Amino acid sequence: MEVEMRKEQVLTRMKEDCLVAVVRAKNKEQGEKVIDAIVAGGINFIEITMTMDEGNPVEFIQFMADKYRNNDKVVIGAGTVLDPETARAVILAGANYVVSPGLNVETIKLCNRYRIPMLPGVMSPTEAITALEAGCDIIKVFPGNVVGPGAISSFKGPLPQGDFMPSGGVDVDNVDKWIKAGACAVGTGSSLTKGAKIGDFAAVTAKAREFVEAVAAARK
């Protein structure tokens, strides 16, 4: 991606793909296998969280960003970013977008400075308005399993200019409800990567394919 177009391209692609895989890696070796399995299943947006059990998540982001640097489909991002210091570290490591479970305006400012999309987590209209005023193009609704798909249409009512992506509680059986409620994309983690817990990475690939098919069907 050209640097000056990176933010716009990432946002456009995220809305086109409509699916972000959230990866909470146990360690580098396991995390790489999970991500490779997800990519093999057709999901291109990978959100690597800062909550690894073992190892340095920033170094892991850099490792995966380097691995997929010549792949024009796969887009590596960072999740569970709580502050601007961490945001800067993951951006320099190669993250093409930054996601947080909460709203931190200073983190948004830092990402804007580097022209990197920042998706803050919100649960209220006040937080959503603050995120829009700070320059966020896509807002994460989190935790999705608490608020439910109806939250998207509720946000879109008074804030039709906003783009919202739920994360948490999104699975193959309900992804259509989120999309039909107005979500511009969805984030999914545990239901996608469940097979990795027992080393069944083929199951992760199969589940990724199910998600891709379910999203495509919901968007028709």
Q: List the domains of the chain with CATH numbers.
A: 7-219 (3.20.20.70)
pLDDT of amino acid 3: 38
- Name the average pLDDT for the chain: 96
Query: In a 10 Å sphere around its CB, with 0-12 CB exposed, 13-18 middle and 19+ buried, how is residue 57 labelled?
Result: buried
Pairing of strands 45-49, 163-166: unpaired
Q: Is the pLDDT of residue 164 over 90?
A: yes
Helix (H) or strand (E) holding 117: none
Contacts of 50 (CB under 8 A, 6+ apart): 57, 58, 78, 79, 80, 81, 82, 86, 90
Query: In a 10 Å sphere around its CB, with 0-12 CB exposed, 13-18 middle and 19+ buried, how is residue 217 labelled?
Result: exposed
pLDDT of amino acid 6: 87
Q: Is the pLDDT of residue 5 over 80?
A: no
Average pLDDT over residues 14-42: 98
pLDDT of amino acid 4: 41
- Between the CA of residue 48 and those of 7, 15, 52, 63, 94, what are the distances in Å? 18, 19, 9, 11, 11
Kindly report the pTM of this predicted structure: 0.96
Provide the percentage of residues in the chain whose pLDDT is more than 70.
98
Q: Count other Cβ atoms within 10 Å, centred on residue 47.
A: 26
pLDDT tens digits, one per residue of 106-147 = 999 999 999 999 999 999 999 999 999 999 999 999 999 999
Rounded CA separation 133/169 (Å):
27
Q: Is the pLDDT of residue 94 over 50?
A: yes
- Phi, then psi, of 121 in degrees rounded to 5: -85, 130
DSSP at 81: -
Torsion of CA 212, 214, 219, 220, to 10 degrees: 110
